[in-house]
Chains A and B, each alone.
Chain A
């Protein structure tokens, strides 16, 4: 068992100035993984994402992505950000958004995209089934379609890891089911890390689940054990509030929800 972790976090503490948000986080993720992390708002989800993307330096501990420091390894991460409300006003086509995934630090490369870059953009559009939307502008799209554009943009970077931030916010339940089917397909060749405050966002398609609330509780299991809930204090609030604990609590099956 000497497979290399795609994301590896060891004894990590992180936060902003005097305010430590994440304590003693340990986490390993491998090439085949599909990890769902849940946690309440203010529990450090965004901080965790910023650390993994190398946007925030940890106070203590180490974080590596594909064996490199986060700021170097992040080029292997296809980041699927949340759609911001103010993005709606921005006049931009689907194709131009996905093309961002092909940009490189070298400005000469970005001046004229090469034909293989354009092919990669087309492939990424087809993979998420939005090739016919390429000319549309972002503000004409539904929440589910926008989410697919952002996944296409991430895929256009040819990532080893897909990192999704609240993927089902502003997406209706049918689109979110389709989204999970898509992610399950992509998981054939890409590791997926999905982070959300909403327990209902974590579907049966994830292979393993964890809890983040100042501390990260992750044991590489599919089920949320009572011990994890207790250790990840705060998590059960969302769990109960959404009234669907049987999705992930042990001893229950999710089958009856499928159509």
Chain B
């Protein structure tokens, strides 16, 4: 077993993928807990899909698609966040619209681009082969930003997540915190996109915290468990993907989904035994 693993991770791209898994799990686990607790899973999905517009445009103009994705995800996070702050019901429609517009722009610009485009699939479904050195640096940076922001503002974030009105009455910077949180969701989505792809990234953000929420009653514990679970899913996903030659992204997400189903089953049994 150990020998097998050392063979698998003797390949540089697999080592890169493992390091990437660590940084992505750190960012996604921590910010994902806030996403689930604030019930902004749909905004996060909107941000992820809107980012594809940036991928397409950057690709058309011969720029790095990651830069395009970062710009689009940040701008869409701010627009959707501002709309959400104004009216929760109005934002719902806007999220759906921006979700589709981003995808449409991305697809149109990619079809306008001449030449070989097979690797663009990797932005949709992820690719462990795609993780480069500069990607790793970006992932490290995003993980550091997320961790720094959440540690420094932990009590503020807890307050606005739990009771926005009370936080406003206490004159906490609710809008600033909320929008910063969404921008960090956007950055996390973009770096996680390299591993699991835009379409599946929302599962990586929401499933580990959802499992942790079943079994733990403290937000810090939920964040920690989410990071650990997310890393385990990525690790075993990579190993299975390497041995079966199936793409890593879907394997990771399917592992997470199976864990989620088992976990809710365990919880249901536990609850029914109690009552």
Contacts and interface: CB of A to CB of B under 8 A. Distances in A.
A95 B136 CA distance: 39
B241 interface: no
Contact of B152 (A54, A75, A79, A111): A111
Most buried by A among B153, B158, B161: B158
A147 B219 CA distance: 22
Contact of B162 (A97, A105, A111): A97
Contacts of B86: none
Interface string B192-232: 00000000000000000000010011110010000000000
Contacts of B153: 107, 110-111
Nearest to A163: B169
B263 interface: no
Interface residues of A, number: 30
B93 interface: no
Contact of A92 (B152, B158, B165, B171): B158
A100 B171 contact: no
A55 B165 contact: yes
Contacts of A137: 217
A141 interface: no
Interface string A75-116: 101010100000101111100110111011101001101000
B168 A100 contact: no
Contact of B156 (A93, A97, A107, A153): A107
B167 A100 contact: yes
A91 B216 contact: yes
B236 interface: no
Contacts of B79: none
Contacts of B162: 87, 90, 92, 97, 100
B41 interface: no
Contact of A77 (B37, B154, B167, B169): B169
Given A81-B166, A90-B37, A91-B219, A99 B155 contact: yes
Contacts of A53: 165, 168-169
Nearest to A99: B155
B163 interface: yes
Interface in B132-169: 152-156, 158-159, 161-163, 165-169
B165 A110 contact: no
Most buried by A among B152, B155, B219: B155
Contacts of A93: 217-218
A112 to B, nearest CB: 9
A105 B216 CA distance: 29
B170 interface: yes
B166 A110 contact: no
A45 interface: no
B172 interface: yes
Given A53-B169, A91-B219, A100-B158, 20 more contacts: A55-B165, A55-B168, A55-B169, A74-B169, A75-B170, A87-B162, A89-B213, A91-B213, A91-B216, A97-B162, A100-B155, A100-B166, A100-B167, A103-B159, A103-B167, A103-B170, A104-B170, A107-B156, A113-B155, A139-B217
Top 6 A-B pairs ranked by shortest CB distance? A91-B217, A137-B217, A100-B159, A105-B171, A110-B155, A79-B169
26 contacts: A53-B169, A55-B169, A77-B169, A79-B169, A81-B163, A81-B165, A81-B166, A87-B163, A91-B216, A91-B217, A92-B158, A93-B218, A99-B155, A100-B159, A100-B163, A100-B166, A100-B170, A103-B159, A103-B167, A105-B170, A107-B173, A110-B156, A111-B152, A111-B153, A113-B155, A157-B170
